[in-house]
Amino acid sequence: MNGRIRCPALERRIVSAEDAARLIEDGMTVGVSGFTPSGCPKAVPAALARQATEEGRHVRIALLSGASTGGEIDTLLGGAGVIARRAPYITSEALRDVINAGGTAYRDGHLGSMARDVRGGRYGKLDLAIVEACAITEDGGIVPTTAVGCAQTYVRQAERVIVELNLTQPAELEGLHDLYAAADPPCCPPIPLTEVSQRIGRTAIPCDPDKIAAVVITEIPEKPRPLAPENADSRAIAGHLVAFLDAERAAGRPFAGRVPLQSGVGSVANAVLEGLMDSDFSHLCFYSEVMQDGVLDLIDAGKADFCSATSLSLSAAGMGRLLGNLDRYRDRIVLRDSEISNSPEVIRRLGVVAMNTAVEADLYGNVNSSHICGTRIFNGIGGSGDYARSAGLSVFMTASTARGGRISSIVPMVTHVDHTEHDVDVLVTEQGLADLRGLSPKERAERILACCAHPDYRPALREYFDAACAACGPVQTPHLLDRCFALHQRFLQRGTMREPSGDGD
Amino acid sequence: MNGRIRCPALERRIVSAEDAARLIEDGMTVGVSGFTPSGCPKAVPAALARQATEEGRHVRIALLSGASTGGEIDTLLGGAGVIARRAPYITSEALRDVINAGGTAYRDGHLGSMARDVRGGRYGKLDLAIVEACAITEDGGIVPTTAVGCAQTYVRQAERVIVELNLTQPAELEGLHDLYAAADPPCCPPIPLTEVSQRIGRTAIPCDPDKIAAVVITEIPEKPRPLAPENADSRAIAGHLVAFLDAERAAGRPFAGRVPLQSGVGSVANAVLEGLMDSDFSHLCFYSEVMQDGVLDLIDAGKADFCSATSLSLSAAGMGRLLGNLDRYRDRIVLRDSEISNSPEVIRRLGVVAMNTAVEADLYGNVNSSHICGTRIFNGIGGSGDYARSAGLSVFMTASTARGGRISSIVPMVTHVDHTEHDVDVLVTEQGLADLRGLSPKERAERILACCAHPDYRPALREYFDAACAACGPVQTPHLLDRCFALHQRFLQRGTMREPSGDGD
């Protein structure tokens, strides 16, 4: 283990994952480290799932995370019926199905507020924290691995802590983290972060060794998500956006090229990074939740100087490239607590250009990030609200259609609002880009119709808008409450938002 | 004028309001001081309205403010057709009618972001700032009056400035303001405010005297809004809320009684302050947009220590009481720029308990603050989003019915979302209080049905929820897209949301 456990007392607490999992009891509230599959505990959740399914052990817990988790948690534990309550974010299809079947009470929320909410008692007493580590320091300090999330707060708040020491995570990750011990009202100083690359904390999570109930040695490798493939739509969206940022920079607008970018995961986000590779932007920096492969490319190409994130959300190839060359990247990357990476205070101060993905957007610029047809949760709001509300420029991106053209992502009224009209500056589809800044709702509708809607759906959307204006008169936000969801209803009934063709289709 | 103009060069710039109004030209963008009717310029807007209506002078301008304005601006100028574009907030009935008739393009937005957005160029070049002052200092510094709003940014950004020196505003207001020169990305330090009573700025808005194109001496008195009357509903809401805050304090929750309160204007807000008078809370403090009469009462009763606001939104009696006893109140009150009073950074740091009013709320906790039946703008989002998103505790309040019971304020789905389910911790009506923290959407629905809905509408809401659960299955957020606005549609058709009675009503 080569100095992985530097606190001798803790060597005596090494137990098997099976034994550690038995510390998790029915009714407990458990917090886990990590953000996306990165940095999450693996062995103990997998063992608990086994106990639940194979031994019929009845355990139902509230599970709190940083964001989505690895398959051992949401998919295995969720699928085994162990997760009674869940916050603040998921992406697992298995757990999504459980939630939408009523098996898990899911409270999705802003990722940047989660640690504060837990400290403030909103999720009750935290019984247990399970944290993946690449090392334990002399005084019990826990060195996280490829992501942080809410690990620091969960360790601080939990009665007991289980550390999963993952030997497949390189010990050289130590030093990459900057862990800031956030304070709470009423005595709360400003977060002293004013530059993306600044360090304001420590490299390990402080923890009284007596609180560490078990140390589990594991060699379960992380299963990174494969890189989402780009396609013609995502490349077109990226093209529109990079051209817009370039024009902003040319116009002397204060942000472009001088303030940090936030960029998520997925096909469109990857295409944007690709687009930046082909642009003449330089000295880019990122203040983001996740770091993707494209950022490594930008660093390697000398186009990006720095990336601050809470998670290395890299493909297997990207993770290999980073971990194999940590010395080269070490002074260009920092991993922070998610309450810092997603801090509205810091995001606002830095003037971040936020780029998030919409499920659907409406004519007036409201965005749905979370619900399919208003009812079935997809993922959750995640960090998009942390960024969009406080950003210097808030961009939402989506292909104008989904499911082979059977869904229009531009709709008369979104069926669920995650981002209000006040928080959406720019909307981009493969059709084009609508700059909505300073516009009134009806002006936004004209621009979104002209720039973003798919031509196949533009006539129906135009007809709705004209009919709403005619029926309501020139009110602030014309709508027809009996027809605003007609496209969605048609989709629910017929599997497509398209108008029936004349021949009886 | 007794030392009201201490910069001699500016005495030569004194002109009549009529002459100053002629500096405002067609197509200009004009920013005004103030927040609510307080602290707004009066003489020049009134003169311009006269020129437009009586002389037929054609002037159409974009008008930017801190929040709502005095009658001389939104009502007179708006009614005269002078306001082509407007941001970020209104309450004038006259201007509301113009907006809903398509005569003014209105962009409502977060009040705390307005100054930053103007500095960032979102509203184009600012031609003119018109600022009410109680004095001008030796070096041209402008001392605001009963409110600040965005005055500092408008003065900084405008090409030229008109100062309205209002002799009815006491010179003793000087010293009450704390004006912080906010910086912008990418070089932006933390806002150093960590206590409600702290002073971090100056007492006058810095201004190059050469930029001051005109000084208008006026004696138009401010017309404070009358105190909104309390009623049984607002008293019941206040009762539920004060009891809840008391229980939170008893439970050792970190906020109650130790962190500041935000409280708006209106019947319910006044009743809450009244309720606090009768409670055993002490050492209260306020971090708010506006200061109302009730805060003076709490200070006088020794129950409140301090109030930070951007506006003295007092009744005539309250204003008289404050201005007549400024020495007594001087070290208990500070007036800040609205980007500080509404700063998400500071609100989050202080852990403010935010109390805002809803137009309607839905079963899942989404709140509409701005639109009647989704189409007609009422006021706008105002500062509610600045507070609700960042608050330590976010409370929304509304009577459970409106218009004599013909409208239910609890509806299946709100027709416009200003505050998403993620930002609403507590919902209160006169029926009761629903603590929504940590709950999933379906759990929230049960609690809102049980605690907040009016008994007359509870059966219809219950029937909707049950039908949605039956039709959708136990998805995250059950909804029936063909029926979710049925109550609103009935109201639009029949003037009431009530079910038709059997006898043909």
Residue of A nearest to B435 (CA): A122
Per-residue pLDDT of chain B (505 residues; tens, 9 = 90+): 678 999 999 999 999 999 999 999 999 999 999 999 999 999 999 999 999 999 999 999 999 999 999 999 999 999 999 999 999 999 999 999 999 999 999 999 999 999 999 999 999 999 999 999 999 999 999 999 999 999 999 999 999 999 999 999 999 999 999 999 999 988 899 999 999 999 999 999 999 999 999 999 999 999 988 877 889 999 999 999 999 999 998 887 766 557 899 998 888 999 999 999 999 899 999 999 999 999 999 999 999 999 999 999 999 999 999 988 998 899 999 999 999 999 999 999 999 999 999 999 999 999 999 999 999 999 999 999 999 999 999 999 999 999 999 999 999 999 999 999 999 999 999 999 999 999 999 999 999 999 999 999 999 999 999 999 999 999 999 999 999 999 999 999 999 999 987 544 3
Which of B254, B366, B481 lies at the smallest CB-CB distance from A485?
B481
How do beta strands B401-402 and B407-408 pair? antiparallel
Chain B CB contacts of A422 below 8 Å = 108-110, 381, 385, 418
Angle between helix B458-472 and B441-451 (nearest 10): 160
Name residue B101's amino acid: A
What is the token pair recorded at A187? 């005595």
Interface of A with B in 387-426 (CB under 8 A): 389-390, 392, 413, 415-420, 422
> How crowded is the C-beta side of A184, counted as CA atoms within 13 Å?
15
Contact B422 A109 (CB under 8 A): yes
Chain A CB contacts of B377 below 8 Å = 475-477
Which of A102, A348, A468 lies at the smallest CB-CB distance from B474?
A102
Give yes or no for A102 touching B (CB within 8 A): yes
The reported pLDDT for the residue numbered B502 is 55
Contact A190 B349 (CB under 8 A): yes
pLDDT tier at A502 (50, 70, 90 boundaries)? low
Give yes or no for B109 touching A (CB within 8 A): yes
- B175 C-beta neighbours (distance < 10 Å), count: 12
> How crowded is the C-beta side of A262, counted as CA atoms within 13 Å?
33
Contact A121 B416 (CB under 8 A): no
Give yes or no for B198 touching A (CB within 8 A): no
Interval A394-428: pLDDT, tens: 999 999 999 999 999 999 999 999 999 999 999 99
What is the token pair recorded at A419? 């981002």
**Exposure class string for B393-423: b at 16+ Cβ within 10 A, else e:** bbbbbbbbbbeeeebbbbbbbbbbbbbbbbb
Contact B109 A422 (CB under 8 A): yes
Interface of B with A in 342-361 (CB under 8 A): 344-345, 348-351
Q: How far apart are CA B297 and CA B319, in angstroms?
A: 12
Phi-psi domain of B449 (left: phi exceeds 0; alpha: psi -120 through 50; beta: other): alpha
Contact A438 B488 (CB under 8 A): no
Q: In what order do the strands lie in the sheet with A410-411?
A: A367-368, A360-362, A410-411
Angle between helix A293-300 and A316-324 (nearest 10): 40
Chain B CB contacts of A420 below 8 Å = 381, 385, 417-420
Interval A272-304: pLDDT, tens: 999 999 998 999 999 999 999 999 999 999 999
What are residue A391's DSSP bridge partners? none
Give yes or no for B371 touching A (CB within 8 A): yes
What are residue A38's DSSP bridge partners? A35
Residue of B nearest to A105 (CA): B440
Which of A105, A194, A253 lies at the smallest CB-CB distance from B188?
A194
The reported pLDDT for the residue numbered B252 is 79
Task: For B496, list phi and psi in degrees, rounded to 5.
Answer: -155, 150
Q: How far apart are CA B376 and CA A139, in angstroms?
A: 62
Residue of B nearest to A184 (CA): B349
CB distance B111 to B132 below 8 Å: no
Interface of A with B in 174-193 (CB under 8 A): 184-192
CB distance B87 to B123 below 8 Å: yes
Q: How far apart are CA A426 and CA A248, in angstroms?
A: 12
Closest CA to B245 of B91, B59, B392: B392
Angle between helix A458-472 and A441-451 (nearest 10): 160
The reported pLDDT for the residue numbered B505 is 39
Which residues of A are the active-site residues? 289
DSSP B162: E
Q: DSSP secondary structure string, B80-135?
A: TT-EEEEES----HHHHHHHHTTSSEE----GGGHHHHHHTTTT----EEEEEESE
Task: Pick from B440, B482, B492, B497 the residue to mutate for testing the A interface (most A CBs within 10 Å).
Answer: B440
CB distance A328 to A52 below 8 Å: no
Which of B122, B345, B375 lies at the smallest CB-CB distance from A477?
B375
- Sequence-distant (6+) residues with CB within 8 A of A13 are A212, A213, A214, A215
Contact A475 B381 (CB under 8 A): no
Q: DSSP secondary structure string, A170-201?
A: -GGGTTSEEB-----TTS-PPP---STT---S
How do beta strands A353-357 and A393-397 pair? parallel
Q: How far apart are CA B62 and CA B44, in angstroms?
A: 15
Q: What is the mean pLDDT of chain A?
A: 95
Closest CA to B259 of B190, B308, B201: B308
pTM exceeds cut of 0.90: yes
The reported pLDDT for the residue numbered A504 is 42
Give yes or no for B376 touching A (CB within 8 A): yes
- Sequence-distant (6+) residues with CB within 8 A of B162 are B20, B23, B41, B44, B128, B129, B130, B131, B212, B213, B214, B215, B216
**Exposure class string for B353-383: b at 16+ Cβ within 10 A, else e:** bbbbbbbbbbbbbbbbbbbbbbbbbbbbbbb
- The answer to whether residue B72 is catalytic is no
Q: How far apart are CA A338 and CA A333, in angstroms?
A: 15
The angle formed by the CA atoms of residues B96, B99 and B100, to the nearest 5 degrees, is 85
Taking one residue from A and the other from B, the number of pairs with CB-CB distance under 8 angstroms is 229
| Dihedral (CA of B183, B187, B193, B199) sign | negative
